[in-house]
Amino acid sequence: MVNQVQRMDGGSQAPKSDSSGASNSGGESSKESSRCSTPLLDADRADRLREKMKRRIESGDRWFSLEFFPPRTSSGAVNLISRFDRMGSGGPLFIDITWHPAGDPGSDKETSSMMIASTAVNYCGLESVLHLTCCNQTKDQITAHLAKAKRLGLKNIMALRGDPLADVWEEEECGFNYATDLVKHIRWEFGDYFDICVAGYPTGHPEAESYEADLKYLKEKVDAGADFVITQLFFRAETFLKFVKDCRAVGITCPILPGIFPIQGYQSLRQLVKLSKLEVPEAMMQVIEPIKDNDAAIRNYGIQQAVDMCKVLLQSGDVPGLHFYTLNREVATMEVLKQLGLWNEDPRRPLPWAVSAHPKRKVEDVRPIFWASRPKSYIYRTQEWDEFPNGRWGNSSSPAFGELNDYYLFYLKSKSSKEALVKMWGEELMSEESVFEVFTNYITTQPNRNGHKVMCLPWNDDPLAPETNLLKGELEKVNRRGVLTINSQPNINGKPSSDPIVGWGPPGGYVFQKAYLEFFTSSENVTALLKVLKKYEPRVNYHIVNVQGKNITNAPEMQPNAVTWGIFPGREIVQPTVVDPVSFMYWKDEAFGLWIEQWAKLYEDESPSRMIIQYIHDNYYLVNLVDNDFPLENCLWQVIDDMFDLLDAPPQSLIT
């Protein structure tokens, strides 16, 4: 609570961004994703935030954006990143992250403003705006922050003055005294690289001599090089609409976005009023006071009030997009957006995986399938790849994957506590079959024998994807018998790109998949499987590897196998997912490593449970299978059935 109040007190308002990766209600990012290997436009220029806004304004397509503040604790950071993924799926044009001078905001700590914004861009694929305040900082410090932000792939800055340290304001000789100074400095040092947002005050800044004087300051900030304005919160639509009119009258022509604050509780409202020196209208207070102890009632009122005000704003024609002060909460803002019809419940995906919003990675359009459930790990392990040649991941054999110890990436830590994991994965394992049961329970979503649901596995931090759900029955059957599946996809023969479950890419297209299955299984099973696979040549491609790297495959040497692709009007073919033999060997290390790092280490050294996991790690094989005949019924289940039949047959069958 302290956090958001600090922010508002500082007089900062938030910028916005387009989740150009994970979701997009407009069509812009589709354009870039459909390019296969022929880069055509300088994506950086056409895709910068101000250009996206411009196109949205021209097309009349309204947007929303979301403001967050950095968390105070590590676990808070893990939760916030999950929230980014969830709220990103609704299709914000951008998010912004506030700057907390007291919290070491430019550091490498996982809770710093800088790192949270970088994570949003790089790992969550969200267009992000980083706040930056200038008072009490030297030019060099500010330049260093900006250079670091650029290096991390951040492209947008909300330029703010911030709060003076002393109660009495003293101008500094060579320092930055106003946001205007910061805007000028950014343009001077970084030219046109950053898109810049500044704050507007619909009722005037509390420290300004007058409303008119404050308008003049805003005009100066814009003239210095700001691209758009986000306002402080306000309680009446007319307050904002008058403000916009006054801005236009003094010659401010850039987009002005209203800051929306859905009231979420009595205490937070009181603190806000105190610190921001805003007055809550009398009529509003008369409604709130009687229900001040009823949190649900207050929140419902806040939602209704915000919806009503936003409707007026949108109908005015002067409001191209809405900016929400979320206070790092989901429910109220999502509800307002849903009621306004701005929440994109079923966002069309430009690609079947979330594109990173890092400028260098925007052109990326193909990835190995192995990291499908661990996209952040993939981005992390390939972050040193300077180029994605021709907009694709290219030849995996040249760029080096990040070291395996890199996978301790902070934001990849399980969202569940050690205690919760032990409950899900077993207090005490009795045998390999106990492990089979954990996998089976994860698939079926049935509680385990101690009554706990298995919500995640070391390789899958989330429940099964809707697409994988299509395979549930088959998956349950094979996991029960020790084919421990960690990744799969059904075959698809030309479904519309708009299909709610498997669709992706621009409208009017068709998407395709080859069936894929990846699992751990015992060496006995592998022996039988290899005999069975001979019958399925060349229909089925396989890679089979153990932790030592013993590798058995029938794949044409070093060639990736495309397993997801799409055909779209007026475009080249897009093939975003491949089974690649080279990267599989890197993935193998990570996949086997997770047995130990995430599972075995839950138990005491030398304990039977730990030894069972260690045994699996040491002796099982990681197998992937592709059925190349995508127009026919998936034969991979038959392959597994044949393997079991062979294992069940009298022993001599294994010799022949």
Task: Show which residues are catalytic.
Answer: 67
- Min. distance of Cβ 489 from a second copy in angstroms? 15
Q: Applying CB under 8 A, does 36 fall inside the site for a second copy?
A: yes
**CA 158/CA 230 separation, integer angstroms:** 9
Contact 161, 178 (CB under 8 A): yes
- Min. distance of Cβ 508 from a second copy in angstroms? 6
Q: Applying CB under 8 A, does 395 fall inside the site for a second copy?
A: yes
- H-helix segments, 173-226: 179-190, 211-223
Per DSSP, the three-state class of 259 is strand
- Min. distance of Cβ 551 from a second copy in angstroms? 15
Stretch that binds a second copy, among 256-264, 384-392, 432-440, 638-646 (CB under 8 A): 384-392
Query: Per CB under 8 A, which of residues 488..527 are in contact with a second copy?
Result: 493-494, 507-510, 512
User: Could you give the string, one character per residue 343-382, with x where binding to a second copy holds by CB under 8 A and - elsewhere?
Assistant: ----------------------------------------
Give the orientation angle of helix 295-316 with respect to helix 237-249, to 10 degrees.
40
In 3D space, the residue among 355, 388, 334 whose CA is nearest the CA of residue 37 turns out to be 388
Give the Cα-Cα-Cα angle 147, 152, 153 (nearest 5 degrees): 100
Binding residue for a second copy (CB under 8 A) from 60, 290, 570, 650? 570
Binding residue for a second copy (CB under 8 A) from 14, 132, 626, 639? 626
**CA 475/CA 444 separation, integer angstroms:** 9
Binding residue for a second copy (CB under 8 A) from 273, 470, 567, 585? 567
CA distances from 115 to 5, 107, 540 (A): 21, 7, 43
Stretch that binds a second copy, among 197-205, 445-453, 566-574, 605-613 (CB under 8 A): 566-574
Binding residue for a second copy (CB under 8 A) from 325, 546, 560, 603? 560
Q: Applying CB under 8 A, does 572 fall inside the site for a second copy?
A: yes
For a second copy, give the closer residue by CB, 162 or 368.
Answer: 368
**CA 497/CA 566 separation, integer angstroms:** 8
CA distances from 577 to 431, 495, 539 (A): 36, 17, 19
Stretch that binds a second copy, among 170-178, 221-229, 394-402, 633-641 (CB under 8 A): 394-402
**CA 79/CA 290 separation, integer angstroms:** 34
Contact 64, 321 (CB under 8 A): yes
Stretch that binds a second copy, among 113-121, 308-316, 538-546, 617-625 (CB under 8 A): 538-546
Cα distance between the two ends of the chain: 71
In 3D space, the residue among 638, 645, 472 whose CA is nearest the CA of residue 540 turns out to be 638
Count of residues that bind a second copy according to CB under 8 A:
49
Q: Applying CB under 8 A, does 571 fall inside the site for a second copy?
A: yes
Q: Applying CB under 8 A, does 399 fall inside the site for a second copy?
A: no
Per DSSP, the three-state class of 569 is coil
- Min. distance of Cβ 29 from a second copy in angstroms? 13
For a second copy, give the closer residue by CB, 447 or 556.
Answer: 556
- Min. distance of Cβ 586 from a second copy in angstroms? 16
CA atoms within 13 A on the CB side of 313: 28
Q: Applying CB under 8 A, does 176 fall inside the site for a second copy?
A: no
For a second copy, give the closer residue by CB, 38 or 652.
Answer: 38
Question: Which residue carries 């296969």 as its tokens?
Answer: 36
Binding residue for a second copy (CB under 8 A) from 7, 35, 131, 349? 35
**CA 270/CA 255 separation, integer angstroms:** 30
Q: Applying CB under 8 A, does 392 fall inside the site for a second copy?
A: yes
Residue 296 is encoded by which pair of tokens? 């649900």
For a second copy, give the closer residue by CB, 387 or 645.
Answer: 387
SS (H, E, C) 328-362: CCCHHHHHHHHHHCCCCCCCCCCCCCCCCCCHHHC
Q: Applying CB under 8 A, does 468 fall inside the site for a second copy?
A: no
Binding residue for a second copy (CB under 8 A) from 555, 585, 596, 646? 555
Helix then strand count (H, E) for the chain reads 23, 18
In 12-91, DSSP assigns E strands to 63-68
- Min. distance of Cβ 505 from a second copy in angstroms? 13
Q: Applying CB under 8 A, does 631 fall inside the site for a second copy?
A: yes
Q: Give bridge partners of residue 367 from the DSSP assignment.
A: 577
**CA 452/CA 447 separation, integer angstroms:** 5
- Min. distance of Cβ 494 from a second copy in angstroms? 6
Residue 123 is encoded by which pair of tokens? 């790992």
- Min. distance of Cβ 571 from a second copy in angstroms? 6
- Min. distance of Cβ 562 from a second copy in angstroms? 5
Q: Applying CB under 8 A, does 394 fall inside the site for a second copy?
A: yes
Q: Applying CB under 8 A, does 390 fall inside the site for a second copy?
A: yes
For a second copy, give the closer residue by CB, 439 or 584.
Answer: 584
Contact 518, 485 (CB under 8 A): yes
Q: Which residues bind a second copy (CB under 8 A)?
A: 31, 34-41, 389-390, 392, 394-395, 397, 493-494, 507-510, 512, 538-539, 541, 554-562, 565, 567-573, 575, 578, 626, 628-631
